[in-house]
Amino acid sequence: MQTHRRFVALVLAATFVVPTTALAQAYPSRPVKLVVAFAAGGPTDVLARVVAQGMSKTLGQQVIVENRVGGGGTIGTREVVKAQADGYTLLFAGDAALTVQPQLTANAGYDARQDFTPLRLVASQSNVLVVNASKGIPDVKTLLTRAKGKQGELTFGSAGNGSPSHLIGALFEGQAGVDLVHVPYKGAAPAMTDLIGGQIDMMFVGTPVALQNAARKELVLLAVTGDKRLPSLPQVPTFAEAGISQLGSETAVWWSVMAPAGLPAAVQSALDEALRTALSDGQVQKNLTTQGVDVLNLDAKTTAQWISRDQAKWGALIRAKKVSAE
């Protein structure tokens, strides 16, 4: 009788262990889809393709980027939420799609803390405050003096309501104690065009855009978010150097790779190892840093912590400023 019970226990144990082991050995047996919720050629898409190439090498299967555009990133994100949790559909996500859009859009259809298995934080970038040179504002001190003397007159542009450039601008207003006029655009490109033309006074832009326009005589780069100056823009001080301490690294724009909730542990482990190895590769790192970002290569636990942190931070700002997607 005791021998029979031991046999039954072994059979039951094998029932649970073998499929997981087999799954780990079999995965991946076909190409993996990496969804990007933004247009081809944009910053998120460019970074995703670098990561996909690195993952293809480490997984031994092709990782194919597919663009699913619309809804500020919510359409592509929802597609991954609804996908089977088998490791063959992943999301290359910008932070706003995970932490901002669900709080701006009533029908976003997902909660990043519940509906995803975080895999790894890929990269982040600082933001640079850029002003039109014709405004005669050479530094943050001058900007603050001007803004406080003319509350509600200076304008700042953004890529749209609820975009990172909008929220960081709103955060700057609160920390600096100034009142600016927000001018939302349908994308960063038209906002930058008007900034160069002098139709708006200032704008927060990502590091790549700042680098592309650093030599333009029409623009002045005033300060950079983050805890230290950028090696690529050593002449631009941090906001902390200018006396504004709450625009540090916690305001960085970041990207991560996510999977649907319920991903089997063995598949998660395989994907984590593939990502960790890819992001440690010298050529991948070079290709990413060329885009003006800092490689993070941080684990799933840290990814989840960043999501929770930013949901709380941006949620509080959205409520305080009554920000909407309209």
For residue 172, give the CATH number of its domain.
3.40.190.10
* Residue 1, in any domain of the structure: no
Where residue 131 falls among pLDDT bands split at 50, 70, 90?
A: very high
> For the chain, where are the E strands, in sequence order?
32-36, 63-67, 89-94, 116-125, 127-132, 155-158, 181-184, 202-206, 219-224, 253-260, 294-298
- Exposed / middle / buried, residue 149 (Cβ in 10 Å: 0-12, 13-18, 19+): exposed
**Which element (helix H / strand E) includes 267?**
helix 265-280
The mean pLDDT value for 4-33 works out to 59
Residue range 182-203, pLDDT digits in tens: 999 988 889 999 999 999 999 9
Task: Count structural domains, the chain.
Answer: 2
**Residue 326: inside a domain, yes or no?**
no
Final residue of a structural domain among 203, 234, 250: 250
**Whether residue 117 is found in the same domain as residue 202:** no
Averaged pLDDT, 140-148: 95
Domain contains 117:
yes
Q: Please indicate, yes or no, if residue 282 is contained in any of the structural domains.
A: yes
Tens of pLDDT along 94-111?
A: 999 999 989 988 788 899
Q: Which two tokens stand for residue 47?
A: 């970074």
Q: Is residue 182 a part of any domain in this protein?
A: yes
Helix (H, G, I), strand (E, B) or coil at 145: helix
pLDDT at 263: 97
Give the domain-ending residue among 250, 272, 296. 250
What are the Cα distances from residue 275, in Å, to 48, 79, 121, 226, 306?
12, 22, 9, 25, 18
- Beta bridge partners, 156, equal 182, 202
One domain for residues 131 and 272: no
Q: Is the pLDDT of residue 219 over 90?
A: yes
Instruction: Reply yes or no on whether the pLDDT at 31 is more than 80.
Output: yes
First to last CA, the chain: 71
**Per-residue buried b or exposed e for 245-276, using 16+ beta carbons within 10 Å of the residue's own CB:** eebbeebbbbbbbbbbeebbebbbebbbebbe
Residue 5 has pLDDT above 60, yes or no: no
Instruction: State the residue for tokens 């998120």.
Output: 44
Q: What percent of the chain has pLDDT over 70?
A: 92
Same domain for 182 and 81?
Answer: no
Domain end point (choices 250, 285, 313): 250
Most confident of 5-14, 171-180, 207-216: 171-180
- Does residue 134 share a domain with residue 240? yes
**182 shares a domain with 38:** no
Whether 261 and 244 map to the same domain: the answer is no
pLDDT at 71 over 50: yes
| Domain enclosing residue 194, as ranges | 127-250
Say yes or no: 169 and 220 in one domain.
Answer: yes
Phi, psi (deg, nearest 5) at residue 239: -65, -35
Nearest to 239 by CA among 165, 296, 291, 175: 175
% of the chain surpassing 90 pLDDT: 67
pLDDT tens-digit readout, 13-23: 444 444 444 54
Please tell me whether residues 155 and 78 are part of one structural domain: no
Q: Which residue has the higher pLDDT, 205 or 248?
A: 205
Average pLDDT taken over every residue of the chain = 89
Cα dist. 177→100, 149, 181 in Å? 23, 12, 13
pLDDT digits (tens, 9 = 90+) for 286-299: 999 988 899 999 99
Same domain, 287 and 175: no
User: What is the CATH classification number for the domain harbouring 109?
Assistant: 3.40.190.150
What was the pLDDT predicted at 326? 67
| 82 found inside a domain | yes
